[in-house]
Amino acid sequence: MQLGDRNVVITGASRGIGAALARECAARGARVTVVARSAGPLADLATELGGHAVTADLADASVTAGLIARIEDEVGPIDVLINNAGIDLAGGFAELSGEDLERLIRLNVLAVSELTRQALPGMIARGGGHLVMISSLAGSGTFPGIAVYAGTKAYVTHMSEGIRLELKGLPVGLTVVEPGLVRPTDMADSVTSYAPTAACFARFNRLGLLADVDRDTLAHHAVNAIEQGKSHVRYPKRARLFPQLTNAPRRMVALCLAGVPRR
């Protein structure tokens, strides 16, 4: 799918990966709608890109309810939905508050699921569209301090593979993006502020198994994947074996289901 004149909606777009994705899509001619709860930075980005800003706290179920329909009423049918919004809340599991735990799951799991559920029927009915799920290498292998975050990303990846099976034979694409630690981002700063997690990243970097990911480079690869219809973006490439191994049972199941009706 070429992005020229396409409606692209990006959540969590006020900064970091989301803002980089918005700029990359706009550079390729897309009409960009950016969604986040930080009204000021979001409005500035929309003005910069000639796009549309929707201020929304996606951890609030009353806000996500009907959100896709409201956006489409304002900008038209959505061609690409990029589910990027997420938080990490790095720290010891026993030290998390109930409120923090609920917010993390609502944003990283429920909001992604709900917005996808709302957007997908329209894409199918119109005969085209693309979904992008920003997951993480943490969904394949976690470190201390990010247990819940990693669990939410494992959910996103696993759910996406199930949706992919249901989309077989339909003109709707789906790309799962699984990056390592992306800089410069607030999330990277938050994760590495917790000493046990920072030490784990340092160990993997010394072993040559991980390397920091540049956010603009990641955005470039992710948008390439939309235009080229790729199913996965795994970056840095040196770490791609981890998600490939994790995905192997899913691929085996998909192969065994050849010929079985999906819908």
Please provide the size of the chain in residues: 263
Which residues are identified as catalytic? 149
pTM score, whole prediction = 0.96
pLDDT digit string, tens, across residues 70-115: 999 999 999 999 999 999 989 999 999 999 999 999 999 999 999 9
Task: Give the Cβ contact number of residue 136 at 10 Å.
Answer: 26
91 in any annotated domain: yes
Secondary structure class of 188 (helix, strand, coil): helix
Tokens of 24: 């990359």
9 vs 118: CA distance, rounded Å: 13
2 in any annotated domain: no
Tokens of 23: 């700029």
Average pLDDT over the chain, rounded to an integer: 96
Indicate which CATH number applies to the domain containing 214: 3.40.50.720
Tokens of 194: 């917790």
| Domain containing residue 178 | 7-255
pLDDT digit string, tens, across residues 155-208: 999 999 999 999 999 999 999 999 999 998 988 898 999 999 999 999 999 999
Total domain count, the chain: 1
| Residue 260, pLDDT score | 84
Residue 68 to residues 37, 43, 55, Cα–Cα distance (Å): 16, 19, 13
203 in any annotated domain: yes
